[in-house]
């Protein structure tokens, strides 16, 4: 009787695809090779976010990928990384789920298995990230986010991550819609860890212009939902404007006693100063309540799927 040393857990791998005709087949062959060596059963879910190059045709015509348990989710319209990955995760059935949202495979294949063996030590979320720091813009975003976030876990650029089913269930118990998965995971209250590696010479990264609109929207939404940055900015603006109105009120008093202003000018200035001061305080309170309302409202399903097919 042959005894297998492979892991018995069902593993899912969700891969984001948008115009990667030169890399998608090789990338899939790489991760499938690792999963086949380590696990008895696994599934691969490709989320095709309306690719208009030859990515889909290359997948369908690839001989080495035939016979593998691969499904492809075709999005109805281009909806961006975060929304598309949510669609793939919804379809996954694994006890543990890999999220491959970056095809820049500048890491050793062994890290894919290492992430699994690390998560079963008692973690719910394990990320694999390069030691090299982020670009200027992404670094600025992460510094800003980490500075004002309530989570004890710091965000950074990552290549892929593996989640337990409990982590996925916890994330969806917080919200059915996930504007920024990394931030939601960091705020889930579950144990997280990161495996670092020294980047190897890899494939060139995709042009940022293709996903710039979605990245900017995601960054702004994340700062509003997961941090108190917007409220702090509103408080600072309120204090500045309140100080200006108080200065105007004091100036009106000085003019009234030391000069002879036009009749009614002092009263008008004092009324405007007091009114605007109260208005600024009310706006600060309204902004705070609006930020809370945003956190409660963004729990809708937001993605549209055209079809699901087996490769």
Max avg pLDDT among 3-7, 89-93, 226-230, 304-308:
89-93
- Residue 141 resides in a domain: yes
What is the per-residue pLDDT for 218?
A: 65
- Does residue 124 sit within a domain? yes
Residue 96 lies inside a defined structural domain of this protein: yes
Most confident of 113-117, 187-191, 274-278, 296-300: 113-117
* Contact by Cβ (8 Å): 227, 295: no
- Model confidence pLDDT, tens digit, residues 178-212: 678 888 888 888 999 999 998 876 544 554 444 55
pLDDT value of position 243: 75
Task: Residue 65: give its domain's CATH number.
Answer: 3.90.550.10
- Would 51 be classed as within a structural domain? yes
The residue ranking higher by pLDDT, 180 or 241, is: 180
- Establish if 137 belongs to a structural domain: yes
pLDDT attached to residue 217: 65
As for how many domains the chain has, the answer is 2
Q: Is residue 5 part of a domain?
A: no
Tell me the mean pLDDT in the region 22-27. Answer: 91
Most confident of the ranges 46-50, 212-216, 270-274: 46-50
CA angle 83, 87, 92 (to 5 degrees): 140
Check whether residue 67 and residue 77 sit in a common domain: yes
Say if residue 194 is in the same domain as residue 286: no
CA atoms within 13 A on the CB side of 2: 2
Among the listed ranges 14-23, 109-118, 169-178, 267-276, which one has the minimum average pLDDT value? 267-276
Q: Is the pLDDT of residue 162 over 90?
A: yes
Give strand ranges (E) for the chain.
7-17, 39-48, 70-75, 96-100, 125-130, 160-164, 192-197, 305-310
Asked if pLDDT for residue 256 goes beyond 70, the answer is no
85-99, 193-207, 219-233, 261-275: least confidently modelled range: 261-275
Adjacent-strand bridge partners of 17: 48
Nearest-10 Cα torsion for 84, 87, 123, 140: 20
Q: Is the pLDDT of residue 10 over 80?
A: yes
Same domain, 44 and 127: yes
Query: 229-258 and 212-226 are packed helices; what angle lies between their axes, rounded to 10 degrees?
Result: 70
Give pLDDT, residue 65. 80
19-33, 199-213, 223-237: least confidently modelled range: 199-213
Q: Which range, 34-38, 237-241, 302-306, has the best average confidence (pLDDT)? A: 34-38
**Are 196 and 235 within one domain?**
no
- pLDDT: is 266 or 7 the higher one? 7
Give domain status of residue 3, yes or no.
Answer: no
Whether residue 118 sits in one domain with residue 233 = no
For residue 31, give the nearest of 97, 121, 92, 125 by alpha carbon. Answer: 97
User: Same domain, yes or no, for 131 and 201?
Assistant: yes
Look at residue 210 in the predicted model and tell me its pLDDT.
Answer: 47
pLDDT at 66 over 60: yes
User: Which among 161, 155, 156 is positioned nearest to 134, based on CA atoms?
Assistant: 156
Residues in the chain: 311
CA pair distance 152, 156, nearest whole angstrom: 13
Q: Please tell me whether residues 166 and 148 are part of one structural domain.
A: yes
The count of other CB atoms within 10 Å of the CB of residue 36 is 12
Tokens 């000018």, residue located: 265
pLDDT (0 to 100) of residue 300:
57
Contact in structure between 20 and 57 (CB atoms under 8 Å): no
Residues 129 and 181 in one domain: yes
Lowest pLDDT segment from 65-79, 178-192, 238-252: 238-252
Same domain, 252 and 214: no
Clarify whether residues 221 and 259 are in a common domain.
Answer: no
Residue 260 and residue 162 share a domain: no
Domain span at 85:
10-227+306-310
| Same-domain check for residues 190 and 240 | no
Q: Is there a contact between 141 and 112 (Cβ–Cβ < 8 Å)?
A: no
Is 159 within a domain?
yes
d(Cα 35, Cα 43) in Å, to the nearest integer?
Answer: 9
């Amino acid at each position: 009787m042959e005894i297998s040393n492979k892991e018995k857990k069902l593993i899912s791998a969700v891969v984001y695809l948008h115009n990667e005709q030169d890399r998608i087949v090789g990338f899939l062959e790489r991760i499938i090779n690792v999963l086949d060596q380590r696990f008895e059963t696994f599934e691969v879910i490709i989320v095709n976010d309306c690719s208009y190059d030859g990515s889909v045709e290359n997948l369908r015509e690839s001989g080495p990928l035939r016979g593998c348990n691969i499904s492809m989710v075709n999005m109805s319209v281009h909806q961006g990384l975060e929304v598309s990955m949510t669609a793939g995760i919804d379809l996954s059935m694994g006890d543990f789920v890999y999220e491959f949202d970056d095809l820049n495979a500048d890491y050793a294949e062994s890290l894919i298995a290492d992430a699994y063996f690390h998560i079963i030590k008692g973690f719910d979320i394990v990320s694999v990230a390069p030691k090299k720091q982020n670009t200027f813009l992404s670094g600025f975003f992460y510094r800003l986010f980490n500075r004002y976030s309530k989570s004890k876990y710091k965000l950074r650029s990552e290549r892929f991550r593996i989640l337990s089913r409990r982590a996925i269930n916890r994330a969806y118990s917080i919200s059915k819609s996930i504007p920024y998965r990394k931030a939601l995971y960091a705020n889930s209250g579950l144990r997280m860890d990161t495996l670092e590696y020294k980047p190897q010479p890899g494939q060139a990264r995709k042009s940022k212009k293709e996903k710039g609109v979605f990245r900017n929207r995601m960054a702004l939404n994340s700062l509003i939902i997961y941090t108190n940055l917007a409220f702090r900015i509103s408080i600072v603006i309120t204090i500045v404007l309140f100080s200006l109105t108080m200065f105007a009120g004091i100036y009106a008093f000085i003019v009234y006693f030391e000069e002879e202003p036009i009749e009614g000018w002092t009263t008008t200035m004092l009324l405007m100063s007091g009114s605007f001061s109260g208005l600024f305080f009310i706006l600060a309170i309204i902004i705070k309540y609006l930020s809370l309302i945003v956190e409660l409202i963004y729990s809708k399903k937001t993605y549209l799927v055209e079809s699901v097919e087996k490769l």
